[in-house]
Amino acid sequence: MTHPIDDIPRDLARRFAGRDIISPREFEKEEILFLLDTAKRFEHFREPILAGRILAALFFEPSTRTRLSFESAMQRLGGRVLGFAEKGVSSVAKGESLRDTIRVVEAYCDAIVIRHPLEGAARVAAEATDRPVINGGDGANQHPTQTLLDLYTIREEKGRLDDLRIGFLGDLKYGRAVHSLVETLAHFRVEITLISPESLRLPDQLKEQLVQQKISFREETEILPAARDLDILYTTRIQKERFPDPLDYERVKSVYQVDRSLIGEVGEELTIMHPLPRVTEINPNLDDYPRAAYFRQAANGVTVRKALLALVLGGIE
Ligand code: NCD
């Protein structure tokens, strides 16, 4: 029997060994498809190909899925994880700079995953060390591994990445999962609908990129009728922690709620995704709707991160 990782194309695999994963902008389309194909092979794969390797998980911001799925992925492949999940327990609380923290931690590990509230922090970390650095979310900027698991989920749920009409709903201004995914979708034949309050529109710079890449998109403020023309509705949490003025958050915090009645209006073909955590934007009465994909999406995080860690740590040589 051939081993699931035996026939992974080694020329592409080698491109990822030791590589920083900071922004999805750095991936060619061929590399994205390769990562998704490799992830598929890792779906049920649990062999200790990363035995003896250590991942440092430095989480300066709250996280459940990203941190624990990285830990699970590493452990499923026989590796180990050290780190912290709260900035108050690291020496940053004593005033240590991020650069110094990274220069110290590099001696304790083979790769680093970092989540940080400041945009660009993952890049700063990557510049401070020769160890591969994976961005687990930097402020409102980017979240590349979320994008990989989102694309993986879209392909699993819809069977394709082209010829899709994808709507983004909620906080398109501060949502880094949205920013990374929108940029990456530009590689595919998609139509994008951006549904948000005026104050939470996708940043101009990203809209300009869509124009340059000739991706068709439109902006709406209401879910209906826009959702009638969609294959996927990617719902997001309003990013409370990023609002400079809490009153602005209060004004928009429950502006959208997706529930079973929406499906009644738009039909049973619409797939609902969400990077999670949700607050009130998806009613739990939607959870048993067959095309509510968000818990499968979260589970795919382990599959995709197993593949990524195996590649970055040179486990597939
Ligand atoms: C997202 C994040 O942290 O950006 N969560 C995640 O990683 N699954 C989305 C969010 O926090 O709303």
Instruction: Looking at the structure, tell me whether residues 115 and 184 fall in a common domain.
Output: no
Q: Do the domain assignments include residue 1?
A: no
CATH of the domain at 210: 3.40.50.1370
Res. 244: pLDDT tops 80: yes
**Phi/psi zone of residue 120: left (φ > 0), alpha (ψ -120 to 50 degrees), beta?**
left
Residue 145 Cβ < 6 Å to ligand 1: no
How far apart are alpha carbons 220 and 132 in whole angstroms? 40
Res. 88: pLDDT tops 90: no
Res. 154: pLDDT tops 80: yes
Instruction: Looking at the structure, tell me whether residues 30 and 16 fall in a common domain.
Output: yes
Strands of the sheet with 164-169, listed across from one edge = 216-220, 190-195, 164-169, 232-235, 271-273
Atom of ligand 1 nearest to the CA of 61: 3
Atom of ligand 1 nearest to the CA of 115: 3
Task: List the domain range (segments joined by +) for residue 215.
Answer: 144-298
Q: What number is the average pLDDT over the span 233-257?
A: 97
Q: Is the peptide bond before 9 cis (omega within 30 degrees of 0)?
A: no
Instruction: Looking at the structure, tell me whether residues 90 and 168 fall in a common domain.
Output: no
Q: Check residue 5 and give its pLDDT.
A: 86
Token code pair at residue 26: 């750095």
Contact present, 175 and 140 (Cβ < 8 Å): yes
pTM of the model: 0.97
Contact present, 172 and 178 (Cβ < 8 Å): yes
Q: What number is the average pLDDT over the span 98-105?
A: 96
Instruction: Looking at the structure, tell me whether residues 181 and 119 fall in a common domain.
Output: no
Q: Check residue 235 and give its pLDDT.
A: 98
How far apart are alpha carbons 59 and 155 in whole angstroms? 29
Which residues, 6 or more positions from 57, have their beta carbon under 8 angstroms from its beta carbon? 67, 70, 71, 81, 82, 83, 84, 85, 112, 113, 136
Q: Check residue 142 and give its pLDDT.
A: 98
Residue 66 Cβ < 6 Å to ligand 1: yes
